[in-house]
Amino acid sequence: MVQKYVLSAIPDDGLRVYVVWGPMLGEEKEDDAKRATTHLPDRRVTHFWTPGHAVAEAFEAPLGIPGTRAWDTFLLYAPGARWGDTAPVPAYFMHVNKPLPAERRLNGDKLAEQTRALLKAK
Amino acid sequence: MRSKAVSAFLAALVLGLPGSGLKSQAEAKPAAAPAAAAGSFAASAEGLWQGLLMYKPAELEVDVIVELAKDAKGAWVGTLDLPNQNLKFHPLENIRIDGSAVYFEFNRFAQKAQVMVETPFTGTLSADGKTISGDFFEGKKNHLALTLKKVGEAGTERTEAPRAPVTNLSDDYHELKARFNADAGKVRLILLLSPT
């Protein structure tokens, strides 16, 4: 979805994407992450692998979902946002099956629209 | 990459779960095979085909690759891939090609439900041999439109983008934080995903 609606549709070099692959379902391995990188073939994408849940837990507070790991979320940041002692609050987010507003469920068109808006305001 | 949404969709695809939003059997029933075109039909269903199962545009979309060919004895054989699910060369069953009429079954054992789910496809090969348009009947009940476009001959090697480097995160994930802050002048998108 991100490849088709965001990366392929928005060639702007002012965009960077960081993918944290992890054990959302419980049995994923690092090699799965290496294989999955082929789904996002774009030089603006950086891939990370974590065998644990620390990153997903770090974003519980910024998203307001304490106790629910933030796997399957898509967090968009405006230029200038910095990561200090705690994970930064996104300017916009989308999610899949989280206890968050239904209107923020992943939609490629909406995510692309918000990305374009931040790039335009840059 | 498999998000839970896609997983849910695939569950619906192979299990026929209620509420999947797919058209009901009352609206469209799977035929054993669509009626063959009258007379001879020059185009061949042999080849490598690619399509997109679009459950909800921009929300739930699943790439599909189908390969159809004849074996040495002239019998149809075929496979189906779901690249985003890392499913490759899943054998198709009961393939029947009759003129322009194309029929095959994508049957999978659903581990969680411990049931075999049959998903027939009925379609029509275009006269120019470039597309097969039809429907997947997930669980033999609901259906989802699928147009397959020919992308190569049978046996064509599947193209796949090269793998990108993957950085292992430390316990304090400082590698991610550093990269995020180094790109502070950019618009940034963080994805937290399962790779399967």
Q: List, for residues B107-136, the tens digit of each pLDDT value.
A: 988 777 788 888 899 999 999 999 999 999
Contact B191 A2 (CB under 8 A): yes
> Domain segments of chain B: what residues?
47-152
Q: Looking at the partner chain, which of B86, B175, B187 has a beta carbon nearest the beta carbon of A35?
A: B86
Averaged pLDDT, B35-52: 77
| Helix/strand/coil for A110 | helix
- Does residue B19 carry a pLDDT above 50? no
CA distances B148 to B129, B138, B176, Å, are: 11, 17, 40
Q: Suggest the residue from A106, A111, A114 to mutate for an interface test with chain B (most B CBs closer than 10 A).
A: A106
Q: Looking at the partner chain, which of A5, A37, A96 has a beta carbon nearest the beta carbon of B164?
A: A37
Kindly report which listed range (A8-22, B49-63, B182-196) carries the lowest average pLDDT score.
Answer: B49-63
Best CA proximity match to A106, nearest among B9, B15, B183: B9
Residues A36, B193: Cα–Cα separation, whole Å:
10
Contact B83 A80 (CB under 8 A): no
Q: Are A32 and B86 in contact (CB under 8 A)?
A: yes
Instruction: Place B40 in a pLDDT band, splitting at 50, 70 and 90.
Output: low
Averaged pLDDT, A85-100: 95
In this structure, the number of other CB atoms found within 10 A of the CB of residue A77 comes to 25
- Does residue A50 carry a pLDDT above 90? yes
Averaged pLDDT, B178-184: 98
CB pairs under 8 A between A and B: 197
Q: Looking at the partner chain, which of A15, A34, A90 has a beta carbon nearest the beta carbon of B166?
A: A34
Instruction: Place B57 in a pLDDT band, splitting at 50, 70 and 90.
Output: confident
Q: Is the ipTM of this structure higher than 0.85?
A: yes
Task: Note the pLDDT of residue B157.
Answer: 84
- Does residue B32 carry a pLDDT above 90? no
In this structure, the number of other CB atoms found within 10 A of the CB of residue A111 comes to 22
- Does domain B47-152 fall into CATH 2.60.40? no
Residues B194, B116: Cα–Cα separation, whole Å:
26
- Does residue B90 carry a pLDDT above 50? yes
Averaged pLDDT, B8-20: 37
Residue B75 forms contact with A (CB below 8 Å)? no
Residues A35, A72: Cα–Cα separation, whole Å:
18
3-state class percentages of chain A: helix first, strand second, coil last, to nearest 5 = 35, 20, 50
Strand spans (E) along chain A: 15-21, 45-49, 73-77, 92-95
Q: Are A72 and B4 in contact (CB under 8 A)?
A: yes
- Does residue A72 carry a pLDDT above 60? yes
Please give the residue of chain A at the shortest CA–CA distance from B85: A36
Q: Are A67 and A54 in contact (CB under 8 A)?
A: no
Contacts of A23 in chain B (CB under 8 A): 194
Phi/psi of residue B171, nearest 5 degrees: -60, -35
Q: Looking at the partner chain, which of A18, A56, A73 has a beta carbon nearest the beta carbon of B188?
A: A18
Task: Note the pLDDT of residue B108.
Answer: 86
- Does residue A68 carry a pLDDT above 90? yes
Best CA proximity match to B71, nearest among B51, B41, B91: B91
Q: Output the six-digit token pair for A33.
A: 């992450």
Task: Note the pLDDT of residue B6.
Answer: 38
